[in-house]
Amino acid sequence: MKKKLISTAVLLGTLALSACDVTTEDEAATGNSNSDQEAVQIDLLGAAADEKDLNILRDQLTRNGFEVNVNQQPDYASYRAQRDAGNFDISVASWTTVTGNPDYAVRSLFTSDGDSRVIAPDSEVDELINQAATENESEYVDTYSEMENVIVTENAYAVGLYNSLKAQAFNKELINPDTVNLYKSRAFAWDTVQFNDTSLNSSEPLILTQTESDLTSLDPIKGNDGSINQLNTNMYVRLVNLTEDDTVTSEASLSYNHAIAEGNSDYYFILRDDINFASVEDGQAVDTGERVGADDVEFSLERASDPESVPDHRTYSLHEYIDDVTVVEDMSELEEATVAGENTSIKEALEAGLDTPINSLVTDKTQSDSSAGNYQVVKLTTTEPFPQVLNYLAHQSAGIVSKEQVESVNTYDIENFDINTDIPYGDQRAVTEGDTYDNHLYASGPYIMIAKNDYEATFQKNPAYMPDSENAAQIENVTVRFIGDMDSALSALRSGEVHLLYGLEETQYEVVEGEDSLELQTGPSNAVEYLIINTTNEESKTAQSEDLRKAILYSINQDDFIQSYDGQKNKAFTPVSPLVDTGNELEADADLVQDHLANYLEQSAE
């Protein structure tokens, strides 16, 4: 894709300044006391959704002596193409810690082998992240604080701009407010939602929205972005879930219970026997008759942790601490192993609250029968003590897929995989209406995607997902409309075209509160908008100069962002800020900017 650079002059005519109290470019130019110093050109990259942030950054940098070229891409896909190609000096990005644990906030982004790495490899960063992963909450605060200082203060690789609230709005005249949950980290779960008139649950679709229509992959390990997180969360069951406040729970998961053994390296899960995979036949969700069992868990988690299991594996770093996944056969193992920090056996912990205690362990999933006390138990062993592993198992990338079905679809040779001719499991081409439609999905969760087009995706309830329990999906059909513009999505909510808007922007709160038919839910989130300073492209000037990076760093004034969003943002130093109070905070400093710029220009002239 050709790089699109918008000059500052053109930008003033085409981009509306979103915050009236932020200095304009003309004001910045005339007010710059260092205007006699040579202006340094900086390429700033972002997507159309980042327009306000791009405006603010442009003006902050301009008044500190930079000449800013803004490359605003129309959508996320084209933005990522530019970013992946390294066509930027600085780039606006976002990260949401959807697992609720700080390791997720940093591992993919900042480790040398991270699957979403945005900084140059740094062994000190790697060491600190790996150290914190083995520590408990009382120990890891100092470690994460040190890691932040290495990334931000010492090297200026990246820096947080702000932490957002989480919000959603829905039509309370149609939807029962008591059935709508607002999760801090977890993507929105559809299965609890009900209409006020429950007779509509089986006849009317629940209509939701999301911005992205181009889906990365419906194979849970091949994507970790806004295009599929919510969709895969609702299509694949996991060993554990997260509650609204990020507590790990077995509720509504594949496990009746889970337990951590002494030493924090062995994790046990006793599996439910009332979930079958769903498939699609003649445009309808059907029960395949295949139970979701221990062999599927073993297969799913082993491929999740293996970077070579599929081409373009995007989530393996989340699961690299998984060393082994096995089906427990020996009852004495459960009786002799004890729960970490307790004088309780693993067997007793797994039996808590069960109608029938464990009478036998079975390896064949078809022989599992909880009413008779015949259960499957899975043991996951980590490479080293890693208490945060449970949060990763709650992530959509740990969704359980059908071993039999995935192996039957993925018959390609990995080394010679050709995206133009090979259609792997979860490829959106298999569910897109038209010549490529050949729906091969097997869903273990409460819903399965029936089909999609450029306008929407349709889902139907899995008829074999905990059918006789309170965890069964309440609404039969769900439609997800693809609406790229949030203002348009809000208009659709107000007009009744959609029923629930997930991920509402702060500037839209007042509009929702002014509508009698709508209800607004808000709460804290783990979402952070941050700035990447390009160090991964060794040829970039920012990679070659620490002084230039620090001049950019100290140009950023987070108060401008908070003010422009009506005070509905919080400061953030890195993506870990909403999860760990390290005490670190960025302070804009114009004098430091000029010192570092002078050093950079002097070095460039040599």
Please count the CA atoms within 13 angstroms of the CA of 386 that sit on its side-chain side.
25
What is the predicted pLDDT for the residue at 37?
66
What is the predicted pLDDT for the residue at 36?
59
- Above 90 in pLDDT, residue 33? no
Three-class DSSP labels, 112-150: CCCCCCCCCCCHHHHHHHHHHHCCCHHHHHHHHHHHHHH
> For residues 41 and 343, what is the distance between their CA atoms, to the nearest angstrom?
64
Q: Are strands 477-482 and 456-461 parallel, antiparallel or unpaired?
A: antiparallel
pLDDT band of 7, cuts 50, 70, 90: very low
CA 246-248-250 angle, 5° bins: 135
Identify the H or E element spanning 28: helix 25-31
Query: Is residue 448 within 8 Å of residue 459, measured between CB atoms?
Result: yes
- Above 60 in pLDDT, residue 300? yes
Query: Is residue 442 within 8 Å of residue 278, measured between CB atoms?
Result: yes
Task: State pLDDT tens for residues 208-261.
Answer: 999 999 999 999 999 888 899 999 999 999 999 999 989 999 999 999 999 999
Neighbouring C-beta atoms of residue 63, cutoff 10 Å: 24
Task: State pLDDT tens for residues 167-197.
Answer: 999 999 999 999 999 999 889 999 999 999 9
- Give the global pTM: 0.81
pLDDT band of 14, cuts 50, 70, 90: very low
Q: Which of 183, 186, 181 is nearest to 170 (CA)?
A: 181
Amino acid at the residue 190: W
Strand ranges for 148-227 from DSSP E: 158-171, 206-210
Task: State pLDDT tens for residues 127-138.
Answer: 999 999 888 888
Domains detected in the chain: 8-164+525-605 (3.10.105), 175-489 (3.40.190.10)
Give the bridge partners for 377, in sequence order.
Answer: 270
The b/e string for 97-136 (b: 16+ C-beta within 10 A; e otherwise) is bbbbbbbbbbbbbbbeebbbbbbeebeebbebbbebbbbe
Task: State pLDDT tens for residues 90-124.
Answer: 999 999 898 999 999 999 899 998 878 999 999 99
Percent of the chain scored above 70 by pLDDT?
Answer: 94
